[in-house]
C-alpha cells in the first residue's frame, strides 16, 4: 500500500508542477513519507534486564510450527514426531512472516510455537489484533491467556466484554480477568506473565488482570498442567501481530521464594534452623547442617514436633539425594510406625531406577499405601523442592513446586496396598514430623499454619420468629427495647449516643460505624422501614453520599464482617442506591471460622461491568459483592446529595419507604412501592436485623415486620 501511494503521489506531482516546484515538492513528499514509515516501523524495545528475546525481530529463528498437543505429541514415536514437525514448519513459514520487526500472521495455517520448552518463567509480549480478532497465548502448551476484540458483539456470548488476559478454558478456577484493561482494537497491548508451578499472575497494559490463578490442564483435565512446555501464539483464523517478546527463566531458589511468599504472615516457623527446640522423638537420628534438618545416613526413626495439630497447612523445602527416601509424619500419636499409627506422606526420589516397580501409592507425595499422587513434578536430585501439605478433616491436599499432585478425601479410601486401612488414618490430630529411612534427605524452612474450623452452618430456622396475625413493631416509638448496639470502636457500648429516640423516631447521629441489632431472629416477613436523611455527615464521609442500610438474616458473631457488622444480606440505603443488594459473609475474629452468606440473582451488567438486577437475566450465585437496583445511575458518584436521573427514593429531607419481602430464600425489595431488586435461594434465610450507622445522620420513624400478604400498601 505504501509503495502504491508513493508512486501515485509522485506521478501526480510530476504531471502538474514546474521543474523547480517538482524538485522541492518531491523532496518534501519523500521526507514526509520517510517520517511516516519510521513512525509505522517503531524501533524495537530493548529487553528488560535479565530477559532474553524470543523473537529477534528479523526472522523465525527459535520458532516452529504446531504439532498436535502435549498429550498427542507424547504418544508419537521420535520418527513420527520428526515427520510431523517438518510438515508443520513448512506450513508455519507459509503463513507467519516478519514485517518491519513485527511477527505477522495472515489468518491461515496454525499456531506458532517456541522451539524450547519452559518451566517457571516471566514473559513480556506485545500484541495487536484487528476488528473481530481472537487469539491467545498458550503456556506450557496448554490454553490459554485469552486475547480478543472485547467490543465485538458476536463474542459477548463467550464473555469478551470482561476483557483479555485471563484463562478462558478454566472450569474450576477463575476464567475472566479482574478488570478490563484492553487498548482499542488496532492499538498495541502489552502482557506481563509470570508463571510458577500451575499458577500465573498477569498484567495487561500495566493493570493486574490475573492474580496467582491456576491454569488448568485443558488436554488432561485430571492432571495438573505440565511441568514444562512450549509457549504458543494461538491461531484463530485472524490476522495477528506480535513483537517485543522477551522471557526470563525463574531459577529454583527464586521460584521457592515466590511460592513461600503467599500468605506468609499466617505461618509460624516450627524449626529455628539452629537446634531441635520444640522437637522430640528420634532426635539422635538427625542433625542440623546449614540450617537444615538432615537424617543421618544409615539412621531412621521419626522426629516430630512437641505440639499437636488438627487441621493445618505445612510448608517446607526438601532436598533428595539419588534414591533418597523419607516421609512426612502427620497426625502422628508419638509412637509406632507413622504410616500405621498416623499417616505418612511419601518423600521419595520416585524416578530412581530402584523404585521402578513400586505400588503407585508409594511414590512421592502419596499418602503412603493409600492414595497415589501425580508423578513428574519433582526437581532433579540435589535441588531444593518446595512442598505444601494441607489437612482439613478427612481432606488432604499436596502441592509440589506449585503443582497440585494430590487432592483427595481420606474417608473414601477402603483399602491400603497391604489390605485393611490402618486405624491411624482416622485420627483427627497429632504431631508433625519426618519419618527417616536411612537416607540423608534434608528439610528446611519448615512452617505450619493452623486452619480454622470448617465453615459454620446456620441452626434451625424454627427458632426465628415469624409474624402471623399481626405486625411486629420492632421499634415501639418510645425507646430501643429489643435492640442492642455494636459499634466498631466501642463494641457493646454506645458512649457517643449514636442511637437514641427523639420525637418518636430513632435518631442515628452517624458518628461512627456499627449497628442497632434486634435481640431476636426473624423469618418470613414483610418488612417496612421509613427513613429520611439528616444534615450531618462525619469523618471520611463528610462529603460523600449519605450511607446506611438494613442488614437482613444476620448471623454469627457481632462484628463478624469487617469487625463492624454481622454476616448478612444488606438492603442498601445510600443516596442514589437505595435498594441495592449487598452480600456480606463473615469470619470469627478469634477462630477464623467462616460464616458464609449467599444468594442467587438474575442480572445484566451496566456500562462499567457492574451487576444490575434484571428479571429474566443471567442467573448467578454470589457470596460477596453487590447487585445494583435496576435503575441505579451508571454515572453514580460517591458525593453528598447525589441523585440519579431515575431514582425512586424521595428527595433529601422527605421520607422514603423501604420494603423487603422475605419469603424463605426469596427476597423482594421495594422503594416507595416500586420493585427495585430481587434474589433467590438466600442462605441463611432467617436471622437478626441490623440498622446501620455509616457516618451519616438518619431518622427512622417506622421499623416493623408484617405477616406475608398482609402488609398495607400505603398509609
Domain range annotation of the chain:
2-40, 52-250, 260-450, 475-706
Fold agreement between 260-450 and 475-706: yes
Side-chain-facing half-sphere of 409: CA atoms under 13 Å:
2
| 153: three-class secondary structure by DSSP | helix
Long-range contacts of residues 379-382, Cβ cutoff 8 Å, at least 24 apart: 379/252, 381/319, 381/320, 381/321, 381/322, 381/324, 381/349, 382/319, 382/320, 382/321
Q: Which CATH number fits domain 260-450: 2.60.40.1530, 3.40.630.30, 3.40.309.10, 2.60.120.560?
A: 2.60.120.560
Residue 38 pLDDT more than 60? no
Note the pLDDT of residue 115: 97
CA distance 426 to 341: 9
Note the pLDDT of residue 34: 36
Note the pLDDT of residue 715: 66
How far, CA to CA in Å, does 448 sit from each of 197, 263, 267, 322, 532? 21, 12, 5, 28, 52
How confident is the model over 25-53, as a mean pLDDT? 54
Q: Which of residues 101 and 25 earns the better pLDDT score? A: 101
Give which of 478, 472, 517, 520 is closest to 500, Cα–Cα: 478
Using 50, 70 and 90 to split pLDDT, how confident is the model at 546?
very high
Note the pLDDT of residue 589: 87
Which is the CATH superfamily of the domain at 475-706?
Answer: Exo-inulinase; domain 1 (2.60.120.560)
Note the pLDDT of residue 461: 95
How confident is the model over 432-453, as a mean pLDDT? 95
Residue 32 pLDDT more than 70? no
End-to-end CA distance of the chain: 75
Note the pLDDT of residue 338: 93
How confident is the model over 163-187, as a mean pLDDT? 92
DSSP state of 557: S
Note the pLDDT of residue 17: 40
Burial (Cβ within 10 Å: 0-12, 13-18, ≥19) of residue 420: exposed
CA distance 204 to 148: 13
pLDDT in tens, 481-538: 999 999 999 999 999 999 999 999 999 999 999 999 999 999 999 999 999 999 999 9
By mean pLDDT, which of 37-41, 121-125, 636-640 is the weakest? 37-41
Using 50, 70 and 90 to split pLDDT, how confident is the model at 20?
very low
CB 673: neighbour CB atoms within 10 A?
10
Q: Which CATH number fits domain 52-250: 2.60.120.560, 1.10.630.10, 1.10.443.10, 1.10.357.10?
A: 2.60.120.560
CA distance 325 to 367: 14
Residue 43 pLDDT more than 60? no
Note the pLDDT of residue 46: 85
How far, CA to CA in Å, does 199 sit from each of 262, 399, 402, 442? 12, 11, 7, 26
pLDDT in tens, 340-389: 999 999 999 999 999 999 999 999 999 999 999 999 999 999 999 999 99
How confident is the model over 19-34, as a mean pLDDT? 38
Amino acid at each position: 500500500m505504501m509503495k502504491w501511494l508513493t508512486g501515485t503521489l509522485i506521478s501526480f506531482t510530476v504531471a502538474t508542477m514546474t521543474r523547480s516546484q517538482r524538485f522541492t515538492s518531491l523532496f518534501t513528499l519523500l521526507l514526509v513519507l520517510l517520517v511516516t514509515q519510521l513512525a509505522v516501523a517503531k524501533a524495537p524495545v530493548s529487553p528488560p534486564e535479565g530477559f532474553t528475546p524470543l523473537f529477534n525481530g528479523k526472522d523465525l529463528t527459535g520458532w516452529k510450527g504446531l504439532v498436535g498437543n502435549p498429550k498427542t505429541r507424547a504418544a508419537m514415536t521420535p520418527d513420527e514426531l520428526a515427520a510431523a514437525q517438518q510438515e508443520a514448519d513448512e506450513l508455519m513459514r507459509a503463513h507467519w512472516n516478519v514485517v518491519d520487526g513485527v511477527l505477522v500472521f495472515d489468518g491461515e495455517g496454525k499456531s506458532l510455537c517456541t522451539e524450547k520448552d519452559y518451566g517457571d518463567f516471566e514473559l513480556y509480549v506485545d500484541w495487536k489484533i484487528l476488528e473481530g480478532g481472537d487469539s491467545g497465548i498458550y503456556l506450557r502448551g496448554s490454553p490459554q491467556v485469552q486475547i480478543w476484540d472485547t467490543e465485538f458483539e458476536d463474542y459477548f456470548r463467550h464473555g469478551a466484554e470482561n476483557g483479555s488476559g485471563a484463562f478462558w478454558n478454566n472450569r474450576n478456577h477463575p476464567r475472566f480477568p479482574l478488570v478490563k484493561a484492553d487498548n482499542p482494537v488496532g492499538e498495541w497491548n502489552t502482557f506481563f506473565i509470570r508463571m510458577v508451578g500451575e499458577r500465573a499472575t498477569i498484567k495487561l497494559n500495566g493493570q493486574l488482570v490475573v492474580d496467582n490463578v491456576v491454569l488448568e490442564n485443558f488436554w488432561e483435565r485430571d492432571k495438573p498442567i505440565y511441568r514444562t512446555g512450549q509457549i504458543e501464539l494461538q491461531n484463530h483464523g485472524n490476522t495477528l501481530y506480535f513483537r517485543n517478546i522477551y522471557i526470563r527463566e525463574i531459577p529454583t531458589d527464586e521460584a521457592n521464594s515466590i511460592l513461600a511468599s503467599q500468605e506468609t504472615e499466617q505461618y509460624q516457623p516450627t524449626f529455628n534452623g539452629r537446634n531441635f527446640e520444640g522437637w522430640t522423638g528420634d532426635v539422635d537420628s538427625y542433625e542440623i547442617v546449614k540450617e537444615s534438618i538432615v537424617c543421618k545416613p544409615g539412621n531412621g526413626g521419626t522426629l516430630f514436633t512437641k505440639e499437636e495439630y488438627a487441621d493445618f497447612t505445612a510448608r517446607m523445602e526438601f532436598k533428595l539425594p539419588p534414591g533418597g527416601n523419607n516421609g512426612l509424619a502427620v497426625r502422628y500419636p508419638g509412637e509406632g510406625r507413622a504410616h500405621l499409627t498416623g499417616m505418612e506422606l511419601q518423600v521419595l526420589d520416585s524416578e530412581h531406577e530402584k523404585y521402578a516397580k513400586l505400588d503407585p501409592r508409594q511414590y512421592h507425595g502419596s499418602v503412603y499405601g493409600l492414595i497415589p499422587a501425580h508423578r513428574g513434578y519433582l526437581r532433579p536430585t540435589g535441588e531444593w523442592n518446595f512442598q505444601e501439605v494441607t489437612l482439613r478433616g478427612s481432606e488432604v491436599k499436596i502441592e509440589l513446586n506449585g503443582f497440585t499432585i494430590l487432592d483427595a478425601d481420606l474417608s473414601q479410601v477402603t483399602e491400603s496396598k497391604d489390605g485393611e486401612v490402618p486405624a491411624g488414618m482416622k485420627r483427627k490430630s497429632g504431631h508433625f514430623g519426618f519419618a527417616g529411612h536411612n537416607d540423608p534427605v534434608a528439610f528446611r524452612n519448615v512452617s505450619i499454619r493452623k486452619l480454622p474450623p470448617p465453615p459454620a452452618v446456620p441452626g434451625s430456622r424454627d427458632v426465628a420468629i415469624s409474624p402471623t396475625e399481626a405486625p411486629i413493631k420492632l421499634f415501639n416509638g418510645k425507646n430501643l427495647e429489643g435492640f442492642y448496639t455494636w459499634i466498631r470502636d466501642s463494641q457493646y457500648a454506645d458512649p457517643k449516643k449514636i442511637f437514641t429516640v427523639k420525637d418518636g423516631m430513632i435518631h442515628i447521629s452517624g458518628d461512627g460505624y456499627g449497628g442497632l441489632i434486634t435481640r431476636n431472629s426473624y423469618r418470613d416477613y414483610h418488612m417496612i422501614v421509613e427513613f429520611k436523611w439528616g444534615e450531618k455527615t462525619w469523618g471520611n464521609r463528610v462529603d460523600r453520599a449519605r450511607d446506611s442500610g438494613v442488614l437482613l438474616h444476620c448471623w454469627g458473631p457481632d462484628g463478624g464482617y469487617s469487625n463492624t457488622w454481622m454476616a448478612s444480606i444488606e438492603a442498601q440505603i445510600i443516596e442514589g442506591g437505595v435498594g441495592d443488594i449487598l452480600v456480606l459473609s463473615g469470619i470469627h475474629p478469634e477462630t477464623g471460622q467462616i460464616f458464609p452468606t449467599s444468594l442467587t440473582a438474575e442480572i445484566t451488567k451496566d456500562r462499567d461491568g457492574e451487576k444490575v438486577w434484571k428479571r429474566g437475566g443471567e442467573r448467578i450465585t454470589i457470596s460477596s459483592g453487590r447487585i445494583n437496583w435496576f435503575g441505579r445511575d451508571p454515572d453514580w458518584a460517591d458525593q453528598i446529595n447525589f441523585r440519579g436521573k431515575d431514582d425512586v427514593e424521595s428527595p433529601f429531607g422527605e421520607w422514603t419507604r423501604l420494603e423487603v419481602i422475605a419469603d424463605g430464600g426469596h427476597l423482594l425489595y421495594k422503594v416507595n412501592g416500586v420493585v427495585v431488586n430481587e434474589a433467590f435461594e438466600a442462605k441463611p434465610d432467617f436471622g437478626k436485623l441490623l440498622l446501620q450507622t455509616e457516618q451519616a445522620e438518619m431518622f427512622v420513624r417506622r421499623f416493623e415486620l408484617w405477616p406475608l400478604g398482609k402488609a398495607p400498601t400505603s398509609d
